[in-house]
Amino acid sequence: MEREVEGLKTENKELRRDVSAARVLAAGADQDVSNMHAAFRAQTMVLNAMRETQLEHGKRIGGLDQRMGGLDQRMDGLDQRMGGLDQRMDGLDQRMDGLDQRMDGLDQRMDGLDQRMDGLDQRMDGLDQRMAGLESEMRTGFATMAAGMQQITTLLTTALDDGSFGLGRNRPGNT
């Protein structure tokens, strides 16, 4: 019995060591489980925050999508207006081409008028030269005529004075 009691005491000591080790292991496991619960709570909070952020982003993307739809409509309207402007510009280009052709015709007519004016200028220059020649001839003619008239007057006066015509001053009855 003593042996049995001794065996039981030894067994009891071993059991106490095992229980003490089990308690240490259980305390560590409890700590690990607490840490795991804290990590899971933190992950749950992160996932909830991400879900909230995704919901906010979803709303914002929905708003942006609506705005993009509005912008698409506005762009379509601008495209239509630009198409109308392109047509108007094509019409203006055609009108400008017509005006260019008319201006070319006017330029040609003006060139013809310039040539005619140059011809008239040349004719006027010729007439001016002829008039200057005639004027010079007339002055010379008038000068010659004046000199001739002076000579005639002198001759007549001399002839009258000396009585060559029978009417001289020296004749009786002439004063």
- Each residue's pLDDT expressed in tens, for the chain with a length of 175 residues: 788 888 888 888 888 888 888 888 888 888 988 999 999 999 999 999 999 999 999 999 888 888 888 889 999 999 999 999 999 999 999 999 999 999 999 999 999 999 999 999 999 999 999 999 999 999 999 999 999 999 999 988 888 888 776 654 555 555 5
Tell me the Cα Rg of the chain. 69
pLDDT value of residue 130 = 93
Least Cα distance to 26 among 14, 15, 36, 18 occurs for 18
pLDDT value of residue 8 = 84
pLDDT value of residue 4 = 82
From CA 10, how far away is CA 142, in angstroms rounded? Answer: 178
| Residue 14: CB atoms within 10 Å | 10
Record the tokens describing residue 60, joined without a space: 């914002």
Q: Decide if 167 contacts 160 (C-beta within 8 A).
A: yes
From CA 100, how far away is CA 111, in angstroms rounded? Answer: 16
CA-based angle 76:79:81, to the nearest 5?
Answer: 110
pLDDT value of residue 32 = 87
Read off φ and ψ for residue 161, nearest 5 degrees: -70, -40
CA distance to 35, 37, 125, per residue, from 30 (Å): 9, 10, 129
Record the tokens describing residue 53, joined without a space: 């952020």
pLDDT value of residue 27 = 86
pLDDT value of residue 160 = 86
Least Cα distance to 27 among 37, 19, 38, 17 occurs for 19
pLDDT value of residue 123 = 93
Q: Quick check: helix, strand or coil at residue 167?
A: coil
